[in-house]
Each structure stands twice: as C-alpha cells, then as structure tokens.
Structure 1
Amino acid sequence: MAIVLDESAWPLVTINLGDQFDRETVDEYIAYWEKLLAGKTRFGIMMIQKGERGERPDREVTKLYMDWCKSHKEQISRSCAGIAVVTASSKLLALYKPVTALSTKKVYGCPGNVFAGEAEAQEWLGALLQKNQ
C-alpha cells in the first residue's frame, strides 16, 4: 500500500501519501476518495506531507488525478468539509500558504489550508465540520 490512512478520528481522516506520487499511489488515493464519496457522512481530510518533495510527479499521473478531481468536484464539494495540509517544512509552508485556499477551492470545491502542525489542522477541520452540520 502506497498510502497510509487513519480514520480513528472519523469524520476527520488523516492521509499520508508518502514520498512518491506515482501511478500506484494515485490509484489508491482515487479509490479511497471514491469510498469516502460513497458514504453519507461529511468528512474532513488532513494530508500529512513529510519533508521536502523530491521529483515532480509524472505528467500522465498528474493528469489522471486532475481529470478525476474535475469530474468529481461537485461530489467532493458536497461531502468534504475541508482539506488541511500539514507540513513540517517551513519552505513548503511559506510556498503553499498563500495559494492553498484558492487552489483547493478550484480543484476540489471545498476549503483548504496549510498548517505547520496537526493540532492546528485538526482544530480548523473540526470547526468546518461543526459549521457544516
């Protein structure tokens, strides 16, 4: 399994995609999204990003994922309260913080934000889940 999932704080789901954003990872990630979207409960996603990203993902893999997001955006916006990205990298935090809200809304149709720690991300997602009930 390329991704690590933690549903112990449901409806808050923690996902760690690891270091590779390859075809196997994307296939697993899409399958998990489809499982989440098939449920009737709103959820929030906390993405754990370890360290700096290495190589850029393969263009074909990125296109596959973006096409899937585009075709499921309406479903995602109804079911997902928000997506919080957690990164320990101050470089990535500074890079992503200004653009994450806009890009997440554009791609997924739901709120997005970047945090340096999991506690902050959980608090933010918890507030969104409460608000959307």
Structure 2
Amino acid sequence: MITIDESNYPIVSVHFENSSTLADTEKYLAHFDKWLSFNQKFGLILDQSTSQNQEDQVKSDPEEIEAVHRLTVEWAKQNKDRITQFCLGMAIVYDGDDLEKRKKAAPKTIAGIFGCLGQVFTSQGEAEQWLLSLQA
C-alpha cells in the first residue's frame, strides 16, 4: 500500500508500506505525472522506511517486483526530460540494513533513471530539509 501526501506541495511525500504492488506503482506514477503537468518545480520524498518486523512479514513475489521495476524504468525513460526540468530532487527515506550501500548508489541511480538529483536519508525531516535547500 502507498500513501501520498501533497499537503506540503511543492514538497510531496509518498510512503511505501511493505512491498509495492503493480497497482501501487501505477497510482504513484499517475500522481508523478500530475505533478509534472503543473509545469513547476517540486521535490519528492519517497519514504521506504519500515520496521524489521514488517520486513520479515513481507513475502515478495519476484515476478511482481520485476514488473514494478520494469514499469517504473519505462515510465521514467518516457518522462525523463520533464522530470529533469521540474523535479528538484528525489529524497529516499530508508532505514534498512543496507543503508550505507543505498546512500552510495542512490545519487547515480536516480540521476541515471530519472534525470534528477537523489539522496538517501534516515528521516523525513532530513529529506525535507535537503529538498528545501534545493529550492533556494
């Protein structure tokens, strides 16, 4: 399940609870398309933090994970020019065991796929501060 919070627009937040389904991803990408259609700069917080207990309970379907990845990458490829123009940055909130690995990989991965800045943070507050600093 995902929860989308637009109350602080132009900073928007998407919270991913457990593993994303294809339907969740379609909903998220439809919102992303809407934000791009406003033709103004915005920042995106992708909250992927989860408790270890939740993580242990999630039984991810490898085919679903692959379908989500394919859909996201294909959509990003089709919209990369608009994303580069209007998305200030993507801040990922993450607290998993491989945090340092993700922190290192995220900037290059996000730039390559989406064409905008990207960083990983351990809290929503840090992520928001970073995005606000990009607005200045």
- TM-score bucket of the superposed structures, by smaller chain: 0.7 to 0.9
- Which has the higher mean CA deviation after the structures are superposed, 61-70 or 99-108? 61-70
- 105, 113, 126: which is aligned to 1:107? 113
Structure 1 residue 17 displacement after superposition: 2.1
Aligned twin of 1:8: 7
Q: 1:50-129, aligned counterparts within 5 Å?
A: 50-51=49-50, 54=58, 55=60, 56=62, 57-89=64-96, 91-129=97-135
Runs of 4+ in 1 over 4 A off after TM superposition: none
> What SS class does the counterpart of residue 8 from structure 1 fall into?
coil
Query: Normalised by the size of structure 2, how large is the TM-score?
Result: 0.86
Q: In structure 1, what residue type is equivalent to 2:90?
A: I
Structure 1 residue 58 displacement after superposition: 3.0
Structure 1 residue 100 displacement after superposition: 0.4
Q: In structure 2, what residue type is equivalent to 1:80?
A: C
Q: In structure 1, what residue type is equivalent to 2:20?
A: F
Query: Normalised by the size of structure 1, how large is the TM-score?
Result: 0.87
> What SS class does the counterpart of residue 58 from structure 1 fall into?
helix
Deviations 1:48-100 (A, max 9, x none): 112265535432232122111111111111010000001233x1322201110
Aligned twin of 2:37: 38
> What SS class does the counterpart of residue 98 from structure 2 fall into?
helix
Q: In structure 2, what residue type is equivalent to 1:72?
A: N
Using the aligned pairs only, state the percent identity. Answer: 27
RMSD between superposed Cα atoms in Å = 1.6
* Structure 2 gap segments, 5+ residues each: none
CA distance in 2, matches of 1:73, 1:111: 12
Question: Contact (CA 8 Å) 2:2, 2:20: kept in 1 or not?
Answer: no
